[in-house]
Amino acid sequence: MTEFTKPFDSSWQAYLLLVPTFAVLIAFLYYPAVETFRLSLYQTLLLGTQKAFVGLENFKILATSPEYQRSFVISFAFAAFVVVGTLVVSLFVSYLLFEVSRGTSSYLVAAIWPYALPTAVAATVLMFLMHPTLGVITHYLEALTGIELDWFTSGPLAFVVVGLVAIWKQLGYNIIFLVAALNNIPETLTESAKLDGVGRLKMLYKVYVPLISPTMVFLVVMDTIYAFFQTFPMVDLMTSGGPSGATNLLIYKLYRDAFEFNSLGKASAESIILFVIVAILMYVQLRVSESYTHYGA
Amino acid sequence: MSHIQLDDLRKRFGDVEAVRGIDLEIEKGEFLVLVGPSGCGKSTTLRMLAGLEDISEGELRIADERVNGVAPKNRNVAMVFQNYALYPHMTAAENMKFGMKSAGDYGDDEIERRLDRAADILDIPELMERKPGELSGGERQRVAIGRALVREPEVFLLDEPLSNLDAKLRVQMRAELLKLHQELQTTTVYVTHDQTEAMTLGDRVAVLDAGQLQQVAEPQELYDFPANRFVAEFIGNPAMNLVPVDVVEDGGEVRAEHEGFSVGLPDQAGLDDAVGQSAHFGIRPEDVSLAGNLPADAPTHEITVSVTEPLGESLLMHCDVGGDEIQVKAEPRAEIRPGDDIEVGFDEERLHLFDQSGDAVYHSTSATPKTSEAPLTE
Amino acid sequence: MATNTESTAATARPELSDYLSDDLVIHGLLVFSIVLMGLPLILAVVMSTQTPSEVYEVTNVGIGSQGLANYQTALGEYNLGQYMWNSFVMASIIVVGKVALSLLAALALVYYRFPYERAVFMFILLTLLLPVPVRIVPLFQLMADLGWANSMLSITGPYIASATAVFLFRQHFMSIPASLVDNARLDGVGPFTFLVKVLIPMSKGMIAGVSVITFIYAWNQYLWPLVVISAQEKQVVQVGIRYLQGASQSGLTQWGLIMAGAVLALIPPLLVLVVLHRPLLKTFAIQQK
Ligand SMILES: Nc1ncnc2c1ncn2[C@@H]1O[C@H](COP(=O)(O)OP(=O)(O)OP(=O)(O)O)[C@@H](O)[C@H]1O
Ligand SMILES: [Mg+2]
């Protein structure tokens, strides 16, 4: 990064330029976030018209609620499923892209387009194609393998189906970063291994994966955040959290507690728990990228 | 009265003192070159002149006006940078006009007039509608100089403007810069780390090391009368040989004694203090000659050749003399091989002595230095 | 490039044919994966031309008899045209607002000397920890208090400032050579001229990249509009798809119609991605560093 003496030194002008950004951030991000903290200490009664200070009671209720505990565990399991699934598939596709087209991008757009796929669209399309009775995919899957994809009644199947939708949508984003990371590897690092006749698969996990591990960590963090925060439309459109809570992710539960049951205090406490999760993930990302800085420019 | 005056100019970056008290006067119309090794503070000094860097201590005057703290645009200086600093999205013409336009002090006619004139002087009218990406390095640097010209400044500041060019173009541009300066006679401060460039361009050359001025003099004088070891080694290529000697008096004659040779120093004032001390003896490779080229009675010394480097116009030899290495320049086709012992003599007119602190105590040339600006080494 | 290095490597050893067939396998696998990724979309397009009864014949995967009629119905009768317009206006406002605000903020951060610079930057960056769900309840109440519920303001306002965009522009500005900035100082160029004549023209790619990311992100919004917009005619298209799900004809869900809606809701961001993928990729390359 170039060092230069800054050309302008009028502080008030600088602050003036920052005012619009600050106004928005304070009004719509910091203030509501602080309010969330405050609200999480209250119990709301009578459809939110009254509230009473209860301290950490909301957190205690959540911690001891079997429903919330289940939702918590399911969300982590879901995140793990989505992260692993997305990374495995996109690593495979990215490696193929990298091998056939070092430098060119002929296939690239055809592989990254799911980045533009709206979550609600992904959910709607796969919901139909994997529909237990009408779905083409369901039909041929059963014809070929005998697996009955009855995810309207089976919790585990619903979990998997929603997970597949989440993976599908997230592939584009992952492939973008993985291809970039692979292309950034200096050719000299891999040429000697190639000359030694190291097989392609072995190259992938012995040479490439270690070299792009900073990117992989970054993607693990981003995909986890995605699995926790961006998956609301899938649950809302496909399962409404069911069957019997099998896809009741934290984000969906938060929505219902807040806007269906009007338990604003409890919902705020749930928001705080989500905040802690993002904070931890971001912290991990920061630490890891710091310890890997010797890789980058 | 001098045009630019630097009075004990200092610059600190946090704990680092990049410029440590520079006193310098630059005459109106002079071409002054600031030269020194990388990191010695040349750019920092130049940027203080431009106003791009705040002055930590000391005083700077331009045209007899104190300009510490005056904004760059009000100093009437123009600067040319090593990497051209052209805006990539503007054509050459737009780049050259941009400063004047944003200043808002010039009418359109005036701007066009100056633009045409600068383009003519630099011989680049046909490049004016091209963007920097469509220009070669040399052409880009011409446009960058053009941008400085159109401002018709009182002072030109150039920071290694030729370093990004290839060797041949550099020589050509050097000549053009000289011609330009002769034409315009604008006071110019030119920064470079290349001593050849410094010698060929400068009316005077200021040698800088570690933030301190080592010597300011005309090029030839710098070469003949280096004020200290640093200047002696920095100016001239290959560098001056320096070997430790003992200075002794032997029957009315002062001699420099070394393991491998003993040289009589033609008498001169100032040597008295050195007698009985150890010192560094300096001789340039081109001032050492093979015995065959010397009068028969000239004193010679035997040295052993360890490596030879044919340079084309001469043969450079790395030789061993009494355990120290010296370099010798001989005629190009001399039949000399590594391992040979050869007889050489030193040019009596070109001997130098430096004391333990590195200051010059003796130059054997009979001519005296013309201007004697005191070196700053306290 | 790849074929070059590989064939040279291969000719050195007796495995040329191995490598060639290997390459074919790789191309094959790649095409297979890409088709698989696109298959749901292709099927959705096909199904969007079918009538409910055609849809209910599960093995019928041919073009249906509806042609583009489902699209017409979705856009008109089911108001999807209105929803798409709403989405488009929302996304455009967010893109323009975010780019403008972030450029100004980055200008201040990179080119101005002022007290508490670091703190200001941290203050902006820390908002990365505050996605909508973390503040959704008070934000909803705030919109109600401001009287913004059901308005375009409510679905754009909270999105027009962004740590990511400020960060990206800041990185980009810092990569502009110092001598260009010095030159501007020597010329006494003012901040407004500097922004308009130098920074913006030199940041076109980055502005395009940030715009694409922002457009796709904004178009994808679902939860927040669902919460804050209750008047159907003000709704955005992602939530609009949800309204289609209720559509049925003589007891059969109109899946063809729903698929048409889904395809429509995908077209704008997909177009933006295809057209502007280059600046997008470059921008991402910077973001990750
Ligand atoms: N902005 C800065 N902050 C801290 N230190 C600096 C800064 N600018 C320069 N320095 C330091 O000041 C010293 C002199 O730097 P300067 O750029 O003047 O050197 P220079 O003689 O121009 O070298 P070069 O030939 O490599 O350009 C160096 O040690 C450098 O690291
Ligand atoms: Mg420099």
pLDDT digits (tens, 9 = 90+) for B13-63: 989 999 999 999 999 999 999 999 999 999 999 999 999 999 999 999 999
| Average confidence (pLDDT) over A268-288 | 90
Given a cut of 90, whether residue B245 has pLDDT beyond it is yes
Distance from CA of B111 to the nearest CA of C (A): 14
Does residue B15 line the site of ligand 1, with CB under 6 A? Answer: no
Give me the amino acid identity at C25: V
The number of C-beta contacts closer than 8 angstroms across A and B is: 3
Whole-angstrom Cα Rg for chain B: 24
d(CA A76, CA B53): 54
Distance from CA of A159 to the nearest CA of C (A): 19
| Residue A2 contacts B where some CB pair is shorter than 8 Å | no
Q: Residue B10 Cα, ligand 1 centroid: separation in angstroms?
A: 13
**Superfamily covering domain C78-288:** MetI-like (1.10.3720.10)
The residue whose CA has the least distance to atom 28 of ligand 1 is B39
Interface partners of chain B (CB pairs < 8 Å, 3 or more) are A, C
d(CA B295, CA B286): 17
| Residue A5 contacts B where some CB pair is shorter than 8 Å | yes
The residue whose CA has the least distance to atom 11 of ligand 1 is B18
Does residue B13 line the site of ligand 1, with CB under 6 A? Answer: yes
Question: Is C180–B85 a contact, with Cβ atoms under 8 angstroms apart?
Answer: yes
Does residue B16 line the site of ligand 1, with CB under 6 A? Answer: yes
pLDDT digits (tens, 9 = 90+) for A191-226: 777 777 777 777 777 788 888 888 898 899 999 999
Q: Where in chain C are the domains?
A: 13-69, 78-288
- DSSP assignment letter at A52: E
pLDDT digits (tens, 9 = 90+) for B254-301: 888 898 888 888 866 667 778 888 899 999 999 999 988 888 888 889
Return the residue of A nearest to B52 by Cα.
A5
pLDDT (0 to 100) of residue B42 = 94
pLDDT (0 to 100) of residue A186 = 82
pLDDT digits (tens, 9 = 90+) for A68-82: 999 999 999 999 999
Residue ranges of domains in chain A, CATH in brackets: 3-57 (no CATH), 66-289 (1.10.3720.10)
Question: Is C245–A237 a contact, with Cβ atoms under 8 angstroms apart?
Answer: yes
Does residue A3 line the site of ligand 1, with CB under 6 A? Answer: yes
**Among the listed ranges B76-85, C49-58, C80-89, C219-228, which one has the minimum average pLDDT value?**
C49-58
Question: Which ranges of B104-194 would DSSP assign to H, the alpha helix?
Answer: 108-122, 137-150, 167-184
For residue A157, give the 3-state DSSP assignment: helix
A14 C-beta neighbours (distance < 10 Å), count: 23
Ligand 1 atom closest to residue B40's alpha carbon, by position in its atom list: 21
pLDDT digits (tens, 9 = 90+) for A231-241: 999 999 999 88
d(CA B14, CA C123): 26
pLDDT (0 to 100) of residue C3 = 40
Q: Residue A182 Cα, ligand 1 centroid: separation in angstroms?
A: 36
Question: Is C5–A120 a contact, with Cβ atoms under 8 angstroms apart?
Answer: no
Ligand 1 atom closest to residue B19's alpha carbon, by position in its atom list: 14
The full DSSP string for A198-265 is --HHHHIIIIIHHHTHHHHHHHHHHHHHHHHHS-HHHIIIIITT-STTTT--HHHHHHHHHHTS--HH
pTM score, whole prediction = 0.86
Backbone φ/ψ region at B326: left (φ over 0), alpha (ψ -120 to 50), beta: beta
Q: Where in chain B are the domains?
A: 4-229, 235-363
- Both tokens of A234, joined, read 């899938």
Q: Is the dihedral of CA A25, A119, A215, A101 positive or negative?
A: negative
B6 forms beta bridges with B24, B60
Q: Residue A124 Cα, ligand 2 centroid: separation in angstroms?
A: 61
| Residues on chain C touching A282 (C-beta within 8 angstroms) | 128-129
Ligand 1 atom closest to residue B11's alpha carbon, by position in its atom list: 12
Phi, psi of C186 (to 5 degrees): -60, -35
pLDDT (0 to 100) of residue B269 = 66
| Residues on chain A touching C123 (C-beta within 8 angstroms) | 22, 25
ipTM: 0.91
A118 closest CB neighbour out of C13, C220, C281: C220
| Residues on chain C touching A115 (C-beta within 8 angstroms) | 216, 273
Which residues have C-beta within 8 Å of that of residue B332, sequence separation ≥ 6? B310, B311, B312, B313, B314, B315
Question: Which candidate, C79, C36, C45, places its Cα nearest to that of C266?
Answer: C45
d(CA C187, CA B96): 11
| Residue C121 contacts A where some CB pair is shorter than 8 Å | no
| Strand bridging mode B65-66 / B57-62 | antiparallel
The residue whose CA has the least distance to atom 3 of ligand 1 is B13
**Among the listed ranges A22-31, B16-25, B96-105, C189-198, which one has the minimum average pLDDT value?**
B96-105
d(CA B72, CA B51): 5
d(CA B362, CA B226): 10
Does residue B44 line the site of ligand 1, with CB under 6 A? Answer: yes
d(CA C222, CA C235): 10
Ligand 1 pocket mutation, candidates A1, A3, A6, criterion most atoms within 8 A of CB? A3
| Average confidence (pLDDT) over C239-253 | 80
As assigned by CATH, the class of the B4-229 domain is alpha beta
Place of tokens 């600067």: B79
Return the residue of A nearest to C244 by Cα.
A124
Ligand 1 pocket mutation, candidates B10, B19, B42, criterion most atoms within 8 A of CB? B42
Distance from CA of B68 to the nearest CA of C (A): 15
pLDDT digits (tens, 9 = 90+) for C257-269: 899 999 999 999 9
Does residue B330 line the site of ligand 1, with CB under 6 A? Answer: no
Ligand 1 atom closest to residue A4's alpha carbon, by position in its atom list: 1
Question: Is C188–B73 a contact, with Cβ atoms under 8 angstroms apart?
Answer: yes
Number of alpha carbons in the 13 Å side-chain half-sphere of residue B324 = 15
Interface partners of chain A (CB pairs < 8 Å, 3 or more) are B, C
Question: Which candidate, B14, B3, B21, B5, places its Cα nearest to that of B208?
Answer: B21
| Residue C242 contacts A where some CB pair is shorter than 8 Å | yes
- Both tokens of B35, joined, read 């030269």
pLDDT digits (tens, 9 = 90+) for B318-369: 999 988 999 999 888 878 889 989 999 999 889 999 998 899 988 887 665 5
Q: How confident is the model at residue C103 (pLDDT cuts 50, 70, 90)?
A: very high
B235-363: CATH architecture: Beta Barrel (2.40)
| Residues on chain B touching C177 (C-beta within 8 angstroms) | 83, 85
| Residues on chain B touching C183 (C-beta within 8 angstroms) | 79, 81, 85, 99, 147
Per-window interface: C 219-238 vs A, CB < 8 A? 219-220, 222-223, 226-227, 238
